[in-house]
Amino acid sequence: MLFPIPWRQSPSRWQYTCAACFKRLEKRSRRHLSTANGASTPAKLHPPRKSTPKLPLPEKPARTRFAPSPTGYLHLGSLRTALFNYLLAKATGGQFLLRIEDTDRKRTIPDAEKRLYEDLRWAGLQWDEGPEVGGPYGPYRQSERTPLYQTHAHKLLDSGHAYRCFCSAERLHQLAEQRAALGVATDYDRTCASIPKEESDERAAKGEQHVIRLLVPEDYPEFQDLVYGHVGRGKKKRRQDIVAYDDPILLKTDGLPTYHLANVVDDHHMKITHVIRGDEWLPATPKHLAMYEAFGWEPPQFAHVALLVDEKGAKLSKRNFDVDIASYRDKIGVFPETLVNFVALLGWSHNHGNDCMDMEQLVERFHTKFTKGNAKVKLDKLWFLQHKHAMRRIESGEIDDMVKSIVKLVKSTPETQDYEIMLRGRTLEDYVTAILRADAKNYSTAADFVKRNSYLFGSGNPAPRPVSFQGLSTTDLAMVIRGLYEIPADQWNATSLKARVEKIIADVIAAIAEREAAKEADIKNMQKVVNGKVLHFLRSMMAHGQHGPSMFEVMELLGREETLRKLGP
């Protein structure tokens, strides 16, 4: 039996081969096949088209949330949590909610909530429901939902899934110290769990201070985590001679909820379907699931993503990149699309060849196959992506923000205060745009750009012309300079300059060859050497030896008058 084989060069043409050859060709896609007339023709098989596999996503629109506390500013880890939840909602056509967990009044920072809104919007994470937006399940600040939490805490009391604890802070402190000395968990001993309900109600009615604790079950519920897979029933290990129970507090003495209660109640009432959070919350999840069971509610799907660490495996701190997001924006000068792209790759992978992605591409490619284990934060990756996104901006012409940042720095930097001399009738914005296009491949931040190209923003004093330069004699240098003086103003552009300088270099080589009576073989070796020396000389005089745009682009940007001034009289 013969099998048809399509030609790669022309899919409409076919060649036939036997079954045995067909199998070999499947393994070796680049083989020479014999044509019908016996001629040997290099026929390349089409490799099987690998359609991008559809990686796991919920079948229905997901409702996700980001629930920060205004006790601090947005950092890399919290931005990543917000981003993953945002991407899941958008990838499934769902909704992304913002909820403020502001019940910790003592640690609240006055401007943290306002900064949070600014940082999220700067990063492109606009919420569908939440503060300043509204929605059908508000209010979206926990401090405004206290009656709801109190009602649900008492529902658990009535059903026997919770109890009041009247123990004083002193007793709890002593209990914790005793347990710590024994090297065991500092859990509660359920002293108050045996208080009859009537007595508990009466003591509470008289105003006796108390908290409400969850009565956790002997075995925690099983659940399926999107990252860790099946998490089985966990028995709470305890020593036989010590009674200890990890019954979390749900309602504090001031009537405000703890994270455990508020988060479960809010996620249920706001119809959250998926919760993506850091894996530091994995140990608390069984308690939350026990509460869902106690209420008779269906829990959301959980995904606990990797902890962010530095390259040595240590937890991030302010000394190793974990500065707030505003610092990346205002002090470091990172683009929002760069930072979002960067944090998306921390604990998440994709099957596309290019790591450089904007928000639209991240949404399109997002899936819930997260990586396990700690995610290392490497700043070289951040700067790689910054370069890529800078090129994208420049190629698309979306450079207004970049130009504004550079112009602001040029005007405020002492070393560039005489930039007006360089403009030659251009606006500073147009001049910066020209430099930006010429030096696009080297852009990282506005500050670095101004520093590296400072010679283009200030005339300064011309460097003294050297008597000789790396093997170029005074005569050789004079030929180079004289040749540049002969280039007319109407030909002062990078293309013409390149051609004229190449001619000047050829003349210099001919003069050196004649002076040294060089042989033809020596002249060929001389060409590359002299070319490098002349260009090095020009960069030394024009750009103080700094890297940047090509020498001919630098000379065009400087203009004829400034270029010749730098070469000296």
Amino acid identity at 73:
Y
Q: Are 305 and 227 in contact (CB under 8 A)?
A: yes
Residue 275, SS3? Answer: strand
Residue 300, SS3? Answer: coil
Q: Are 58 and 272 in contact (CB under 8 A)?
A: no
- Whole-number Å distance between alpha carbons of 193 and 199: 12
**Distant-in-sequence, close-in-space partners of 542: CB < 8 Å, separation ≥ 6:** 455, 551, 554, 555, 558, 563, 566
- Whole-number Å distance between alpha carbons of 33 and 15: 8
369 is an active site residue: no
Amino acid identity at 172:
L
Neighbours of 148 (CB within 10 A): 16
- Whole-number Å distance between alpha carbons of 468 and 537: 10
Using a 10 angstrom Cβ sphere, with 0-12 exposed, 13-18 middle and 19 or more buried, the burial of residue 25 is middle
Phi, psi angles (nearest 5°) of residue 79: -65, -40
- Whole-number Å distance between alpha carbons of 126 and 124: 6
Using a 10 angstrom Cβ sphere, with 0-12 exposed, 13-18 middle and 19 or more buried, the burial of residue 316 is middle
Cis peptide before 549 (omega within 30 of 0): no
Residue 469, SS3? Answer: strand
Q: Are 292 and 223 in contact (CB under 8 A)?
A: no
The enclosing H or E element of 4 equals strand 2-6
Longest dimension (CA), the chain: 115
- Whole-number Å distance between alpha carbons of 315 and 322: 9
- Whole-number Å distance between alpha carbons of 277 and 64: 11
User: Beta partners for 231?
Assistant: 223
User: Beta partners for 5?
Assistant: 15
Based on its alpha-carbon atoms, the radius of gyration of the chain, rounded to whole angstroms, reads 35
Phi, psi angles (nearest 5°) of residue 459: -70, -45
Q: Of 60, 318, 331, 372, which residue is the catalytic one?
A: 318
Burial 261-270 (b: 16+ CB within 10 A, else e): bbbbbbbbeb
**Distant-in-sequence, close-in-space partners of 317: CB < 8 Å, separation ≥ 6:** none
- Whole-number Å distance between alpha carbons of 475 and 477: 6
CA angle 310, 312, 316 (to 5 degrees): 25
The DSSP code sequence of 202-245 is HHHHTT---EEEE---SBPPPEEETTTEEE---B----TT---B
Give catalytic residue positions.
Answer: 318
